[in-house]
Chain A
Amino acid sequence: MISKVRQHPTQNETLLFEISSPGKFGYQLPELDVPPVDARDALGAENVRQEIADFPEVSEVDVIRHFTRLSTWNYAIDLGLYPLGSCTMKYNPRVNEAVARTEGLIWIHPYQPEALSQGAFAILAEIERTLAEITGMDAVTLQPAAGAHGELTGILLVRAYLETQGNSRKKVIVPDSAHGTNPASVRMAGYEVVNVPSNDRGMLDAEALARMVDESTAAIMITNPNTLGVFEEHITEVARILHSKGALVYMDGANMNALAGISRPGDYGVDLMHLNLHKTFSTPHGGGGPGSGPVAVKRFLEPFLPLPRLLHAPSGWSWNYDRPRSIGRVRAFYGNFGVLVRALAYIMAHGGEGMRRATLDALLNANYLRKLLEPHYEIAYHAPSMHECVFRHPSTGAIAKRLIDYGFHPYTVSFPLIVHGAMMIEPTETESKQELDLFSDALISIAREEREHPDLLLRAPHSTRTTKVDEVAAARKPILKWGR
């Protein structure tokens, strides 16, 4: 039975270009207080454009209705459980949004005098400190704009360090359960990718790894817990193997929500790692971004961190550009400051003990769901789950679509790639028992439906305003913009 949702009408809406009508507008500008300038005189006639053909002409009411109507076609955390595995879709506290819009934070220019930016420096210094504390690392760069950007930064750090050791080496080892960003980042940093298979427990096989690592190995990129939600129990041994050949251990911290407060990668051989502040630290996903992907490193890698670095002196904070061994800039300015503000607000609200408690609740929710679902779905690996669990079912895609009718966003479908028919479920700590029970009931009900009414799944979802979307047609003949 579907108890979480029932249907209600949603507004139809066409595209901005179709509601547009000549002469409408939704803006007001103050009257110009200086003489107008003829653009053709000032810029040269050849440099001045004609009107922007087909650009929208709509009123303010048109705009608010348009986007409000569109918004009602989305699912969101604010509507319920969003159990995408390795995405950590937890509640996004609204105080974080409020403080990020503080007048003295939102309007500051990156090039304004440092003496007029001391509050911003203090915030950046505090988030660097707390992230180092949580990861057990010695230094943090806040510059990377997202997880993948952090990965690229991290592998460039590995390369810069190895160059000072006399040889940048050739390859980086990536487990076959890794996110696609890992191998892509390795390639962008100019290394070869060597895939290492997981063993039958869903973990890295230390012995197999030992045979692969040699003097041409620059690093391993290891996600821990991995994308199966399984802690890599041999991580200390893995680090010993890599280090014995002079190679480094990079950890993808996408799943740090399983570890904050109970395990610090810097304490057991991880040399550098990135964090996804839009996962563990609750900054909103926003339909795909913005994110922030700070990289935390051990002390020996600190000289290589991107430019610029925070510098503290009795006279106050400033930016330090005098860093000859730095890999250079990975983006303009200093990082996604507004996202960093939100993450610090989250850390402050929790405190050290609260971070630990959130982690335990994340483990609790994932293991609770696993227990409820195990009689009905096949768990992919029997190893203990941390913050997420992965089941397997040949109809994972259809089950996911049917979940929508039950009022839930689907889990992650068909990933990790090493599990055929993967259903990857991460509830996070901010879900209540009631919500988890509803979700489990839904999946159990769907398992029954699959036996009794298989066609119900094949054409799902049935209750959405947009029914099954033809993605094949979209790719076959791409229409990527509106046209008359």
Chain B
Amino acid sequence: MLDTIGASTLEDLYAHLPEDVRFHGALNIPAGKSEYEIVQYFRERGLENANSHATFLGAGVYHHYRPVLVDAVVSRGEFLTSYTPYQAEISQGTLTAIFEFQTMICQLTGMDVANASMYDGSTAVPEAAMMAMRITGRDGVAVARTVHPEYREVLGTYTRHQGVPITEFEYDPESGQVNLESLEQALNETTAVVIIQSPNFFGVVENAKQIAEMAHAKGALLVYVFTEAVSLGLLEPPRDADIVAGELQSFAIAPSYGGPFAGILACKGKYVRQLPGRLVGETKDANGNRAFCLTLATREQHIRREKATSNICTNQALIALMATVFMALYGKQGLRELAEQNLAKAHYLGERLWRRFHGPYFNEFVAATGVQSPEEINRRLLGFQIVGGLPLDRFYPELRSSVLLCCTEMSSRADMDAVAEAFGA
């Protein structure tokens, strides 16, 4: 090959680079390892983490069972090692699966259009906010304090330099739901968007319908955020929202220390031209057969450059495929039963503890720890190989002695009894 090129050594291939840009040293990275050594290294690191602990952590990342079939499908090289499906004729597998994904997200959320995925729930939120600003021509953002604190931080990072005024509105200390008076005060004629999460960060279900009415009365859009996708199996879909931004991690996507996950962005049909990210549409091939392709690309960066709706290019396609397989396996009946199990488990534990809020809750709730500190309780639980809930003072200084607990279909009755006991219940 070198002869064909007309070079005598491999190094000749970059001999044209100026001397001062060439690296002459050796990279300080140990010599290449065998497959066995690599597997051992990661096995050892894994053993330094929590292993086979039960967990009651939720807060945006949920322990749900992952059906074996999910990895079987996404491990197929044709899905795993293909690129973004720009060449439709040899990408119909990925395109068809994304079309099914878009459809199921619409069925779950009550929206008309869903894109092919965002990085995660947290980055879907600022994208939704910016979308609402483009639609309304306004720039004010009102966000509930019960939206995941890290999502709100990301919203702040994205919007800070665009001169976007962000107003946070309060929750009701009794119900744990949005405080409607606080919301009313946050709204004015420059408000582009109201952002709520349901179930919210405290696990409490919000009254989306009423909040939508308040937002719409002021000419603002409502963005409905969810972090626990399983809730959609049981909860009324957010039809009153204009945009839904969510996280699908609960759909057979492993916690994996926080990523990779898959975010979604869905909206009313009339807003599709402002929706960022990839979209797959149905069409026909030259023989008249049904076919799919990426479409409405004039919204996207590779066509519109600085005038695009977003800079997003690579998304979370394979992770979205995990969620697609999950939704197919569980289906209409399974998703409901899964949601009902989560509800039953959380209420089994929740009704035995002193809950901080009385609003309706799905599979997470805030428990007061009484005279003990959250840390004391969690230390005791670790002795039983149980990771306890999230102490909330980290994000809400006013909620001292409060723990956010999550129960899923993977929480055993025995472990929940142990938690109740540690709380002194």
User: B81 interface residue, CB < 8 Å from A?
Assistant: yes
Q: Which of B35, B293, B413 contacts A33 (CB 8 A)?
A: B413
User: B287 interface residue, CB < 8 Å from A?
Assistant: yes
Q: Which of A30, A75, A465 contacts B409 (CB 8 A)?
A: A30
User: Number of residues in B with C-beta < 8 Å to the partner?
Assistant: 192
* B32 nearest in chain A by CB position: A351
User: B383 interface residue, CB < 8 Å from A?
Assistant: no
Q: Evaluate contact between A349 and B35: CB separation under 8 angstroms.
A: yes
Q: How far is the CA of A235 from the CA of B333 in the complex (A)?
A: 60
**Min C-beta distance of B31 to chain A, whole Å:** 4
* B298 nearest in chain A by CB position: A475
Q: Evaluate contact between B79 and A341: CB separation under 8 angstroms.
A: no
Q: Which residues of B contact A327 (CB under 8 A)?
A: 157
User: Number of residues in A with C-beta < 8 Å to the partner?
Assistant: 192
Q: Evaluate contact between A469 and B283: CB separation under 8 angstroms.
A: yes
* A13 nearest in chain B by CB position: B96
Known: A27-B329, A57-B333, A145-B123. Contact between A109 and B310, CB under 8 A?
Answer: no
Interface membership of chain A positions 91-129, coded 1 if the CB is closer than 8 angstroms to chain B and 0 otherwise: 110010111111111111111110011111011000000
* A352 nearest in chain B by CB position: B27
Q: Which residues of B contact A351 (CB under 8 A)?
A: 29-33
Interface membership of chain A positions 331-366, coded 1 if the CB is closer than 8 angstroms to chain B and 0 otherwise: 111111111010001011111111110001101110
* One of A185-193, A209-217, A443-451 at the interface: A185-193
Q: How far is the CA of A264 from the CA of B236 in the complex (A)?
A: 54
Q: Which residues of A contact B362 (CB under 8 A)?
A: 43
Q: Evaluate contact between B258 and A337: CB separation under 8 angstroms.
A: yes
**Min C-beta distance of A17 to chain B, whole Å:** 7
Q: Which residues of A contact B26 (CB under 8 A)?
A: 352-353
Q: Which of B11, B18, B55, B78 contacts A76 (CB 8 A)?
A: B78
Q: Evaluate contact between A288 and B315: CB separation under 8 angstroms.
A: yes
Q: Which residues of B (21-56) have their CB < 8 Å from a CB of A?
A: 21-23, 26-33, 35, 37-39, 41-53, 55
User: A6 interface residue, CB < 8 Å from B?
Assistant: no
Q: Which residues of A contact B425 (CB under 8 A)?
A: none
Q: How far is the CA of A93 from the CA of B278 in the complex (A)?
A: 27
Q: How far is the CA of A87 from the CA of B43 in the complex (A)?
A: 31
Q: Evaluate contact between A87 and B4: CB separation under 8 angstroms.
A: no
Q: Evaluate contact between B96 and A146: CB separation under 8 angstroms.
A: no
Count chain B CB atoms within 10 A of each CB in A54, A57, A367 and give the residue with the most: A367
User: B246 interface residue, CB < 8 Å from A?
Assistant: no
User: A313 interface residue, CB < 8 Å from B?
Assistant: no
Q: Which residues of B contact A185 (CB under 8 A)?
A: 311
Q: Which residues of B contact A315 (CB under 8 A)?
A: none
Known: A36-B344, A290-B316. Contact between A105 and B256, CB under 8 A?
Answer: yes
Q: How far is the CA of A478 from the CA of B115 in the complex (A)?
A: 13
Known: A53-B107, A285-B83, A480-B272. Contact between A180 and B308, CB under 8 A?
Answer: yes
Interface membership of chain A positions 358-383, coded 1 if the CB is closer than 8 angstroms to chain B and 0 otherwise: 00110111011001100000000000
Interface membership of chain A positions 4-31, coded 1 if the CB is closer than 8 angstroms to chain B and 0 otherwise: 0000000001011100100111110110
Q: Evaluate contact between B100 and A482: CB separation under 8 angstroms.
A: yes
Q: Evaluate contact between B120 and A72: CB separation under 8 angstroms.
A: no
Q: Evaluate contact between A466 and B280: CB separation under 8 angstroms.
A: no
Q: Evaluate contact between A332 and B5: CB separation under 8 angstroms.
A: no
Q: Evaluate contact between A63 and B316: CB separation under 8 angstroms.
A: no
Q: Which residues of A contact B148 (CB under 8 A)?
A: 332
* A43 nearest in chain B by CB position: B360
Q: Evaluate contact between A356 and B27: CB separation under 8 angstroms.
A: yes
Q: Evaluate contact between A459 and B286: CB separation under 8 angstroms.
A: yes
Q: Evaluate contact between B97 and A67: CB separation under 8 angstroms.
A: yes
Q: Evaluate contact between B42 and A34: CB separation under 8 angstroms.
A: no
Known: A27-B331, A352-B27. Contact between A73 and B93, CB under 8 A?
Answer: yes
**Min C-beta distance of B156 to chain A, whole Å:** 6
Q: Which residues of B contact A467 (CB under 8 A)?
A: 89, 285-287, 289
Q: Which residues of A contact B2 (CB under 8 A)?
A: 364
Q: Evaluate contact between B44 and A119: CB separation under 8 angstroms.
A: yes
User: B353 interface residue, CB < 8 Å from A?
Assistant: no
Q: Evaluate contact between B76 and A480: CB separation under 8 angstroms.
A: no
Q: Evaluate contact between A49 and B235: CB separation under 8 angstroms.
A: yes
Starting from the known contacts A180-B308, A284-B81, 10 additional A-B residue pairs (CB-CB under 8 Å) come to A48-B236, A52-B336, A133-B27, A186-B306, A233-B18, A287-B97, A289-B117, A351-B33, A468-B89, A469-B283
What are the nearest 5 A-B pairs in CB distance?
A104-B46, A333-B258, A286-B318, A352-B27, A78-B77
| 28 A–B pairs (Cβ distance < 8 Å), ordered by A | A27-B330, A42-B343, A71-B93, A72-B93, A100-B256, A104-B46, A104-B48, A107-B254, A109-B257, A111-B57, A111-B59, A111-B61, A112-B57, A112-B387, A113-B378, A122-B45, A123-B42, A267-B21, A331-B123, A338-B257, A364-B2, A364-B13, A470-B283, A478-B279, A479-B283, A481-B99, A481-B102, A481-B106
